[in-house]
Amino acid sequence: MGKSISQATLNNCRKNLNSNDAAKVSINAATRVNVRKLSMNWDAFRQIDHTFSNTVSGQMKASHQKRSGRCWGFAGLNLLRIYLGRKYKLKNFEFSQNYFMFFDKLEKANYFLENIIETSEKDVSSRLVSHLLYSPVQDGGQWDMFVNLLNKYGAVPKSVMAESFHSSNSSQMNKLLTRKLRGYALDLRTAHSKGSKLSELRKLKDEMLSTIFQMLCIMLGTPPEKFDWSIRDKKDKFHRFTDLTPKSFYNKHVGTVLDDFVCLINDPRSQTDYNKTYTVDYLGNVIDGNIIRYLNLESDELRKYSIKSIKADDPVWFGCDVGKYFSREFGVMDLDLFNFDTFFGTDFPMTKSERLDYGDSVMTHAMVFTGVDIKNRKPVKWRVENSWGEDHGKKGYDIMSDSWFDEFMYEVVIHKKHLPAKIVKQYKSKPIALPPWDPMGSLAH
């Protein structure tokens, strides 16, 4: 009854526990074994089936982001390699995720320092400045950030700029870059307080970026300016392309126009409306690039256009909350896979909207839909290309049940040719700005 936990409250808790035989069994089991294994619904597990009525062509060996948060970039490059593989009839191919990461870090550093200059008049303890300082060069990102990097810097094959230790294990690199950038934020704000002009702050910023560039080269390697590319296709025919730049390689050999894709979200919260376009303030990487842009639609519409895309042989980039009701070992996302309610003797009743409002669910991972299983004209499950290597699911490809799609899927990217003209038009309208800490920006954090 009071503010603190009383002895009477503790006695009542013990009494309730001692009278609950099911809880005693759960205690004995969970003391030595992971509760996810103990609560797994084996009837649901028996129904795992990696066959699908509709799949896209040109799928390749699963990639591996290792100990880094580059899922959004891996997913984007995995989508593009399907088209490149079809064009040249390749058995397998990977773009350099390290090259992509290098310029993402450099652009995020510039984006951060520009935001520090813009907010120099605000107190350092303000919520906005505190938010900016929290994680200047995180690994995460959003679809529009991927588009910005490819449009500006192009891409290169993995053979041209291979993984480094720090691209695959990014934690220490991020800590050092963050420490340096926070120090630079202090320097810029101090210079502003002493009366430095904007041009002087920008000159100081350019000197700072030169140091960041050097740090990135030390940890990731120096990105190539020109290179040759040699391949053998599925018929073992040899091809060599010489004197390429990252931009010419992308434009000539990939050629996908990323600005033709539309980003759709399902955000059922009361403060956001369906059929409205949104952005997130202070979220991005490339200054003067595309802003973050989402069109909010009901879940059924995300489902409908994803199916339409897959049936047309186009894979779908998507963002979701992968940590919920997911078995990494078996590669399955399914609401029925775990009996947590029964095991703990309590339910977890929040709706999708409530989970977003109360911080229980956000976008945490980006992957690619490469198939869907349709039965009686309704989707049953989805084939998912992950970027966690081949040691889970079916050689790195996972399954998402359609019921899971409704609860923990938040974002899909669809080519405009699969969408009605009115949706494309609404997507291009002036977006409503969400605050920098809104959950719809979580994938980038």
For 413, phi then psi, to 5°, come to -120, 120
Residue 189 sits at the vertex; the CA angle it makes with 188 and 192, to the nearest 5 degrees, is 85
- The residue assigned the tokens 């089991």 is 29
Mean pLDDT of the chain: 96
217 in active site: no
Output 205 or 234, whichever has higher pLDDT: 205
> Active site residue: 166, 192, 365, 445, which one?
365
**Residue matched to tokens 């899927």:** 409
In the prediction, which pLDDT does 388 show? 98
pLDDT of 198 reads 98
SS3 10: helix
pLDDT digits (tens, 9 = 90+) for 370-405: 999 999 999 999 999 999 999 999 999 999 999 999
pLDDT tens for residues 63-73?
999 999 999 99
Whole-model pTM?
0.96
Which of 98, 266, 290, 386 is flagged as catalytic?
386
Residue pLDDT, tens place only, 182-218: 999 999 999 999 999 999 999 999 999 999 999 999 9
Interacting residues of 304 by C-beta distance below 8 A, sequence separation 6+: none
Choice among 71, 166, 290, 320 that is catalytic = 71
How many beta carbons lie within 10 A of that of residue 8, not counting itself? 10
Query: Residue 12: which residues within 8 A CB-CB, separation 6 or more?
Result: none
Q: Does 44 have pLDDT greater than 80? A: no
pLDDT digits (tens, 9 = 90+) for 86-116: 999 999 999 999 999 999 999 999 999 999 9
Catalytic site includes residue 365: yes
**Whether pLDDT at 46 is above 80:** no
pLDDT in tens, 112-129: 999 999 999 999 999 999
Which position has the token pair 């041209």?
160
pLDDT class of 47 with cuts at 50, 70, 90 = confident
Q: Average pLDDT of 8-18?
A: 95
Question: Residue 309 belongs to what H/E stretch?
Answer: helix 299-311
pLDDT over threshold 90, residue 167: yes
Domains of the chain: 54-444 (3.90.70.10)
Q: Is 71 a catalytic residue?
A: yes
pLDDT tens sequence across 397-427: 999 999 999 999 999 999 999 999 999 999 9
Facing residues of 291 across strands? none
pLDDT of 445 reads: 84
Q: What's the number of CA atoms in the CB half-sphere (13 Å) around residue 375?
A: 8
Q: What is the CA radius of gyration of the chain?
A: 24
Neighbours of 336 (CB within 10 A): 15
